[in-house]
Structure 1
Amino acid sequence: MGARRDDIQAFLAACAAGRTGSVAAVAAGLARIAALDRAGVALAAMLRVMPDATDVARDRDRARRDGAAPGPLHGVPIVVKDNIDLLGTPTSSGCRALADAMPWRTAPALATLVDAGAVVVGKTNLSEFSFEIRSRSSLGGDTRNPFAPTATSGGSSGGTAVAVAAGYALAGLGTDTGGSIRVPAAYNGLVGLRPTWGAIATDGVAPLAPSTDTVGTITRSVADAATMFALLAARDPSGGRPAAGMRVGILWQLPGPAPDGIDRAAAALHAAGVAVEQAPDLPADLIPGGDHIVDEEFGPAFDRYLRTAFHPGTAPASLPDLIAGGHYLREYDAVLRARAAPRSPAVRATILQRHKALRSALAAIVADGGYDALLYAPSAVLPRSMDNPKGGWAPELAACSGWPALALPVGRTARGMPLSVELLAPADEEAVLFTLGAAIEDGAGSRPVPDL
């Protein structure tokens, strides 16, 4: 059936044919923000709309008319999670204490997209400090799921996902520490890429746990994810092996909201000539849980970020100063204070050793089965309320191993929510994810689109 063609590739083709332009696309997104974000269903995906977005779009259109060679994202409207620095615009991490925090520069990852021609429409809401897998902040409140506005969008990159799903922009830049790109992508019927840890620079990004933090993308198609990854990582993921002849192992050990999502993905892979079989379970003692690296790394890392990232006087000078001011979600008070307390190097070392053991176990499963990738559900549940979803440990496989993962939609559940799967491949094998993801996308048909 093929993927729904409302993505970056379709937009660029329409621009080249003279059927649309960046100004028209930005205007359409701004109109939807006005109608849906603070009025109507009040999705609350946006924290800030860029006042110069239309002017930048007009410059992109003029350059195209004048015959300038367009960049790979020329005139493409994007949104950016508000924990990624953009010069001249505050980086809030969703926190009232950081509402006016002015960074020294634009994060290199975001600068790469702007240099490629992207137009930043605005900064998006998120889970404050990226703490949860719902997107609730003291600045923006709860970001609502456009498929079920009484339910959360997921998080922590929930505002970015909702903005792309609701038509505010064609793609988004987010971050992923445990599942913060893939969970909201799954909950909103989108493609979420967590790249190999270290493949994309995290300079100019508010830290959560540097040992697992990464920048990633939320897009409407696998092709768009590949395009943006090639820019962000300065690495061309194309030209790999075809899907036919690849092997995928299903981790049925991981619970999911509906087994037929895995079945749909498996059927699409079979149709593309991919061998799919059940993979062995991971050893029970290596299942992620217990002490979490965020608890050990957030306090020192965020304190260092506050001390170095912002113009003096625009933000609290340290994490203790931020806590003393009290301008953050009060429900986070206990966890924020706990994570700001002195840490134990021994505990951190133990957690990282467990990550290494998990990576070795995954490598053994892949090697023994001859698998190119593993397949499973990205979340154990789908959201039904504004509560923090109990999504389970599936997203931690990529986070703890450092391997890349791709979440993508395969249809809807009986109650109309997006149904998604996740692919996990060894480090630096993003090309495998894109090849297999495209096969699933082609077989599963058009992505779900919210009725707004």
Structure 2
Amino acid sequence: MGSVQERMSACLARIHAQDHRWRAMLALNPQAEAQALESGLKASIEGKPLHGFILAVKDNIDVAGMATTSGCKALAGAMPRQDAAVLRKLREAGVLIIGKTNLSEFSFEIRSRSSLGGDVLCPFAPHATAGGSSGGSAVAVACGYADGALGTDTGGSIRVPASCNGLVGFRPAHGALSMEGIAPLAPSTDTVGPITRNVDDALRLYRAMGGKVVLPPSVAGLRIGLLRQAYGEDQSIVAAVEAAASRLWDHGVELIDPVRVEGLEALIEGPHIVDVEFASAFNAYLAHNFQPGTAPASLADILESGQYLADYSAVLKARLGANPDAAGRVLERHDQLAALLKDTMGHYGLDGLLYPTMRVIPQDLANPKGGWAPELAARTGWPAITVPVAPHGAVRPIGAELLAPTGQEGLIFALARLMGNT
């Protein structure tokens, strides 16, 4: 394993040697080596469960002394007042910050492309997107730049890149963790969570961030439904998820196959909450989050500057013109979806639902047509986890997602330990 300082130096060396290819990092922490040295001089301290854990942080999450850019050139000098609330907790647990990661600018898409960093590329397929919007965080972990990373997830932005890069990604229940010091996309569905190589590290990070988890004594007898409506047509994905389900069966989990949720697709269609909430939330964030004079005063100022990804000109203008009063109608559909899923699970006697994280494996740099499955957690507010399930020897990773109602986080982590192919 080596000392903390040696591990930090090795991670930095990998970034300097490799990241010109993948574009995962936007900035390195200038204090990273000094903090590793200080940490290494101390013995592993009781009460510091993540002593020496090296963390990369999505660049829409505040790190004191480093700009929080959301990938946007206009925010290149935007200096936060302090660490984000979850990051303060992680530092107390012993975490060391190596740097800030590239992302989809403003977290708008499920690919990662920004005016500051360009496209984040998948190390398993350099011709393809790494997924998004937390793509830089996922690639940083996949390439060994860090032990784990933080991402944000509004509609799939932790789970999609984790799936694309063979990693574990956990989206907490909405409201489970503080979003203080994190750029908003849609406050009604925004979350922050870990991306890691294994389930246990995701659990450790989540607990250190303030998450509450009670693991069940056994998974035997739990009932998991296979939501084949979300599967898509790629038979390699279908087979990998079925193999993950079989691993759960081997541990005594009952599988209900298939489960059908009548009316599900209709509730996923229509206006997205991001279209309604983004502009007002981001304007408030610009007004209050940064040290005076370091950030644009408003989204309108960013638009006027031209210092943003040209791809987003139309959507920025549309979201600036959105009527925030429309949020109530969108959120009513979210409530209807949560009620529908709760009723369906009650009908089948289910503890959770299993399905592919994405319907496709990205083959280019376009925004992938991954399907609506990641929106199930986003719109219900329930927690969900993706784990890598591709067979050994597969060229491209595949993720399977497990969803359960809020309060069942322990069940999610216990089952995730068993269904992954790691």
Q: Is the partner of 2:98 in helix, strand or coil?
A: strand
Q: Of residues 47, 69, 73 in structure 1, which corresponds to 2:46?
A: 69
Structure 1 moving runs of 4+ over 3 Å: 284-287, 412-415
TM-score, normalised via structure 2 length = 0.96
Distance 2:355 2:292 in 1: 46
Q: Of residues 354, 357, 369 in structure 1, which corresponds to 2:333?
A: 354
Q: Of residues 236, 244, 250 in structure 1, which corresponds to 2:226?
A: 250
Question: Percent sequence identity over matched residues?
Answer: 48
TM-score, normalised via structure 1 length = 0.90
**Which amino acid in 1 is paired with 2:152?**
T
1:217: which partner in 2? Answer: 194
Q: Of residues 291, 294, 297 in structure 2, which corresponds to 1:317?
A: 297
Give the conservation status (yes or no) of the 8 Å contact 1:413–1:419: no
Q: Using the TM superposition, give the Cα deviation of residue 72 of structure 1 relative to its aligned residue in structure 2, in angstroms.
A: 0.8
1:28: which partner in 2? Answer: 10
2:152: which partner in 1? Answer: 175
Q: Of residues 65, 82, 97 in structure 2, which corresponds to 1:105?
A: 82
Q: Is the partner of 1:218 in helix, strand or coil?
A: strand
**Which amino acid in 2 is paired with 1:340?**
L
**Which amino acid in 1 is paired with 2:290?**
F
Report the aligned-residue RMSD.
Answer: 1.4
Distance 1:250 1:348 in 2: 31
**Which runs of 5 or more structure 1 residues have no equivalent in the other structure?**
1-18, 447-452
Give the conservation status (yes or no) of the 8 Å contact 2:215–2:411: no
Give the conservation status (yes or no) of the 8 Å contact 1:43–1:146: yes
- What does 1:27-46 align with in structure 2 at a 5 Å threshold? 27-38=9-20, 42-46=21-25
Q: Using the TM superposition, give the Cα deviation of residue 285 of structure 1 relative to its aligned residue in structure 2, in angstroms.
A: 5.4
1:59: which partner in 2? Answer: 38
Q: Using the TM superposition, give the Cα deviation of residue 415 of structure 1 relative to its aligned residue in structure 2, in angstroms.
A: 6.1
Distance 1:27 1:306 in 2: 35
- What does 1:8-407 align with in structure 2 at a 5 Å threshold? 19-38=1-20, 42-64=21-43, 68-69=45-46, 71-235=48-212, 237-256=213-232, 257=234, 258-278=237-257, 279-284=259-264, 286-345=266-325, 347-407=326-386
Distance 1:254 1:287 in 2: 14
Give the conservation status (yes or no) of the 8 Å contact 1:91–1:99: yes
Give the conservation status (yes or no) of the 8 Å contact 1:157–1:174: yes
Give the conservation status (yes or no) of the 8 Å contact 2:230–2:359: yes
CA-to-aligned-CA distance 1:348-385 (integer Å, 9 cap, x gap): 11110000000001111211212111000111111100
Judged with a 3 Å threshold, the aligned counterparts in structure 2 of structure 1 residues 234 and 395 are, in CA distance, closer, same or farther, namely closer
Distance 2:57 2:311 in 1: 25
- What does 1:388-427 align with in structure 2 at a 5 Å threshold? 388-412=367-391, 416-427=395-406
Q: Is the partner of 1:120 in helix, strand or coil?
A: strand
Q: Is the partner of 2:228 in helix, strand or coil?
A: coil
**Which amino acid in 1 is paired with 2:382?**
W
Q: Using the TM superposition, give the Cα deviation of residue 233 of structure 1 relative to its aligned residue in structure 2, in angstroms.
A: 2.5
Distance 2:18 2:93 in 1: 29
Q: Is the partner of 2:390 in helix, strand or coil?
A: strand
Judged with a 3 Å threshold, the aligned counterparts in structure 2 of structure 1 residues 291 and 63 are, in CA distance, closer, same or farther, namely same
**Which amino acid in 1 is paired with 2:282?**
F
Instruction: Report which stretch shifted further, 295-304 or 279-288.
Output: 279-288
Distance 1:344 1:51 in 2: 40
Q: Is the partner of 2:229 in helix, strand or coil?
A: coil
Distance 2:247 2:7 in 1: 32
Q: Is the partner of 1:422 in helix, strand or coil?
A: strand
Q: Using the TM superposition, give the Cα deviation of residue 414 of structure 1 relative to its aligned residue in structure 2, in angstroms.
A: 8.0
Distance 2:402 2:238 in 1: 15
